Amino acid sequence: MLTDPTLVSNLLTLENGRRVKSVCEDGSMAGAGGLSGEMRKLKYLLEDGTTLTVVKKTTFETTIGRSIALGLAREGLFYDKFAPQILSVCPNILPRVYHSSGDMATGQKLILLEDLSELNAVQAGYFFGPGSPHNWGKDLDQITAPYKSNAVNVTRAAFKIASKIHGMYWKDNTLLTPDNSWLRGSAWMQGTGETPFLEAQKQGSDMWAKTVQAIDDGTTAIKWDPLVLECMNSSFKKVSWSAFQERVRTMQWTLVHSDFHPANCMWVPTSSDDTSGGHLVLLDWEVVGLGSGPQDLSQFLISHMDPSLRRSCEEDLVREYYNDLCAHEAVSASFTWECCWAEYVAGGCERRIPPSNTPR
């Protein structure tokens, strides 16, 4: 049972005065919590006899250390501080938030969100086929059959959302104030925070070291190209705070999701009776911060889209993003198409290894 009066109060306000009679756990959502989160469903019984299902996201006790080191409690702060402004410009692109809080010192967060499954939503990554490990072993045709969408449509919708958010916060100096110091990269953009920067890089290098060990032991089911292995090993050896600072000084930065891929989005159909249309809802803002907007785009495409399809449509999709972005007055005239494309390409190299068509 959940009896926190603050949470009940929030629900009472948002549910137009309908009173909550009781609340209970309604099942786990194992594997859906991001880097450190645990997600469970809560069912609220209201005094008028109706029910309301809410998704509760907290931090696993076993991942508190990681949450503190990487600042993952910031997701609770994001929904509290940024969601209202973003939703005023981009309605419906975030889930409805009933309560949101986060403590960067303790690593704890508590977020209550609308249950999008009640709206017949589907994870957007399923439209991209079996290339991503997120989709291995799933009957994607059966899952996506009720919906009239595809990978290109989903990507176009995601890039339009990205252009709006990136344009809203383009080099916005209020993101550098002490009140927003919890944003990932805020200190880095101001020349401080070398230790957490290196800790974040170490997480990646440690994960890569485990992968290399599995390759050497012959315990991985994935066949790695020798050139990819060479590039990965070389990249981790080149991690440098000073080199990063050189790049930051010329970067056209903005507010970025930083984990922008289709599996962190839900496709919500127009209605349960009409699945010919729909819209995207963005989730998992644990690493929201300051960075390169176009690099969010490359992560989105390379993480899921079949390489042949990506090559056929990526330039058109990125150009649409760039044109939409330039409609914002804050975007500098010096941010040319060539700059945008160069950042997109760099992000593809730095953030993701392109997926194969099938696991092997």
Instruction: Please give the DSSP secondary-structure letter assigned to residue 48.
Output: T
pLDDT score of 137 more than 80? yes
User: Higher model confidence: residue 246 or residue 24?
Assistant: 246
Instruction: Assess contact for 230 and 90: CB atoms under 8 A.
Output: no
Highest mean pLDDT among 33-47, 173-187, 235-249, 346-360: 173-187
In degrees and rounded to multiples of 5, residue 350 shows phi and psi of -85, -25
% of the chain beyond a pLDDT of 90: 67
Strand order in the sheet with 265-269: 122-123, 265-269, 278-282
Beta bridge partners of 280: 267
Q: What digits encode the pLDDT tens for the residues 20-29?
A: 777 887 777 8
Average pLDDT, the chain: 89
Backbone angles phi, psi at 111, to 5 degrees: -130, 130
* pLDDT at position 17 over 70: no
Of 127 and 352, more confident: 127
The closest alpha carbon to 351, from 279, 292, 272, 284, belongs to: 292
Mean pLDDT of 227-255: 92
pLDDT value for 356: 43
Which residue type, as a one-letter code, is found at position 109?
K
Q: Residue 348 is inside which H or E element, if any? A: helix 337-351
Using alpha carbons only, what angle is made at residue 70 by residues 81 and 200, rounded to the nearest 5 degrees?
130
Query: For residue 359, what pLDDT band results from cuts at 50, 70 and 90?
Result: very low
- Which residue has better confidence, 261 or 133? 261
Task: State which fold the 1-119 domain adopts.
Answer: Phosphorylase Kinase; domain 1 (3.30.200)
Predicted pLDDT at 4: 63
Q: Report, as an integer, the average pLDDT of 215-226.
A: 90
Task: Say how far apart CA 36 and CA 69 lie, in whole Å.
Answer: 11
Beta strands in the chain (DSSP E): 20-28, 37-46, 51-59, 97-102, 109-114, 122-123, 253-256, 265-269, 278-282, 289-292
**Per-residue confidence at 213, pLDDT binned at 50, 70, 90?**
very high
Residue 252 has pLDDT above 60, yes or no: yes
pLDDT in tens, 313-322: 999 999 999 9
Give per-residue pLDDT as tens, 32-58. Answer: 766 677 899 988 888 888 888 899 999
Question: Can you give the pLDDT at residue 55?
Answer: 93
- φ, ψ for residue 336, nearest 5 deg: -80, 170
Give residue 300's pLDDT band: very low, low, confident or very high (50, 70, 90): very high
Angle 219-225-229 from CA coordinates, rounded to 5° = 80
Contact 107, 67 (CB under 8 A): yes
Q: Residue 1: what pLDDT?
A: 39
Q: What mean pLDDT is predicted for residues 286-314?
A: 96
- For the chain, the domains span 1-119
Helix axes 293-304, 337-351, angle to 10 degrees: 50
Averaged pLDDT for residues 54-83:
93
What is the pLDDT, as a whole number, of residue 8? 61
Return the higher-pLDDT residue of 318 and 353: 318
Give me the percent of the chain exceeding a pLDDT of 70: 91
Residue 5: is its pLDDT beyond 70? no
In angstroms, the CA 60 to CA 48 distance is 34
CA separation for the pair 105, 342 (Å, rounded): 37
